[in-house]
Amino acid sequence: MRPWTDLLWVPLALVLDQVTKLVVVSTLPPYDPQPVLGDLVRLTYIHNRGAAFGLNLGSPVVHTVIAIAALGLLGWMLYTLPANARLQRSALAMVLGGAIGNIVDRIRLHEVIDFVDVGFGDLRWPVFNVADSFVTVGVLVLALTYSRVAEPTEETPAAEPPAVEPPVDSVGDGND
| Residues designated as active site | 114, 132
Label each residue of 133-159 as H, E or C: HHHHHHHHHHHHHHHCCCCCCCCCCCC
Measured between alpha carbons, how far is 46 from 53 in angstroms, rounded to an integer? 12
Strand partners, 116: 43, 128
**Sequence-separated (6 or more) residues with CB below 8 Å from residue 92:** 74, 77, 78, 81, 138, 142
Q: Which residues neighbour 29 within 8 Å (Cβ) at sequence distance 6 or greater?
A: 45
> How far apart, in Å, are the Cα atoms of 142 and each of 24, 38, 91, 103, 119?
30, 33, 6, 21, 26
Using DSSP, state whether 48 is helix, strand or coil. Answer: strand
CA distance 134 to 170: 70
